[in-house]
């Protein structure tokens, strides 16, 4: 009779261990997706910042009150570089927010220009909830923001 109890105990230990392993793998995979998205959002922000830093005339127009980017070819280039960098990395561009560049110290060679890009990430496991555990404190959507600053180069 003792051998049957030992088999039951081994099965219970295996089940508990396997459940813990699967949960750990899910959390690890989720964090890997977040890190992947962050690196690609950062790369997209760099592409936009590089364009902005090389076009100070456009940055002067952006600083003017009432600037409207609609129809501005420089804005379209800026937006397109960020958009395609994100799209090439496999990010869902519908969840991408691209902000206008910011220049706190004005426009001039060597002064900083800052570009900010935000991405809303919904992972494969965003809708998964386990009984008793829920989502382990993980949110359903992750807001990833990357900000890049470069000196203005061209004049």
Please choose, from the candidates 98, 71, 102, 100, the residue with its C-alpha nearest in 3D space to the C-alpha of residue 82: 98
Q: Report the interhelical angle of 73-88 vs 2-53 (nearest 10°).
A: 160
Radius of gyration, CA atoms only, the chain = 24
Query: Positive or negative CA dihedral for 145, 51, 70, 84?
Result: negative
Q: Where are the beta strands (DSSP E) in 16-140?
A: 96-98, 112-121
Integer Cα distance of 142 and 123 in angstroms: 8
Taken as a whole, the chain contains a residue count of 155
Residue 55, in any domain of the structure: yes
Structural domain tally of the chain?
1
Residue 119 covered by a domain: yes
User: Within a domain: residue 58?
Assistant: yes
Domain housing 104: 36-151
115 touches 22 (CB < 8 A)? no
pTM above 0.85, yes or no: no
Please indicate, yes or no, if residue 41 is contained in any of the structural domains.
yes
**Please, which residues have CB within 8 angstroms of residue 133's CB and are 6 or more apart in sequence?**
23
Residue 17, domain member (yes or no): no
Q: For residue range 33-61, what is the model confidence (pLDDT) as tens digits?
A: 999 999 999 999 999 999 999 999 999 99
- Give per-residue pLDDT as tens, 108-118: 999 999 999 99
Residue 9 lies in a domain: no
Instruction: Tell me if 4 is assigned to some domain.
Output: no
pLDDT of residue 41: 97
Q: Is the pLDDT of residue 154 over 80?
A: no
Give me the percent of the chain exceeding a pLDDT of 90: 64
Q: Which two tokens stand for residue 51?
A: 């364009």
12 belongs to a structural domain: no
């Amino acid at each position: 009779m003792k051998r049957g109890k030992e088999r039951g105990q081994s099965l219970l230990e295996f089940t508990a261990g396997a459940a813990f392993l699967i949960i750990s793998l899910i959390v690890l995979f989720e964090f890997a997706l977040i890190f992947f998205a962050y690196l690609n959002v950062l790369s997209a922000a760099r592409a936009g910042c590089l364009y902005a830093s090389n076009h100070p005339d456009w940055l002067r127009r952006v600083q003017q009150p009432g600037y409207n980017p609609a129809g501005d070819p420089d804005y379209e280039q800026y937006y397109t570089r960020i958009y395609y960098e994100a799209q090439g990395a496999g990010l869902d561009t519908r969840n991408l927010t691209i902000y206008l560049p910011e220049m706190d110290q004005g426009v001039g060679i060597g002064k900083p220009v800052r570009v900010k890009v935000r991405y809303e990430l919904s992972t494969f496991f965003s809708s998964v909830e386990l009984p008793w555990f829920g989502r382990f404190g993980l949110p359903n959507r992750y807001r990833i923001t990357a900000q890049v600053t470069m000196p203005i180069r061209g004049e």
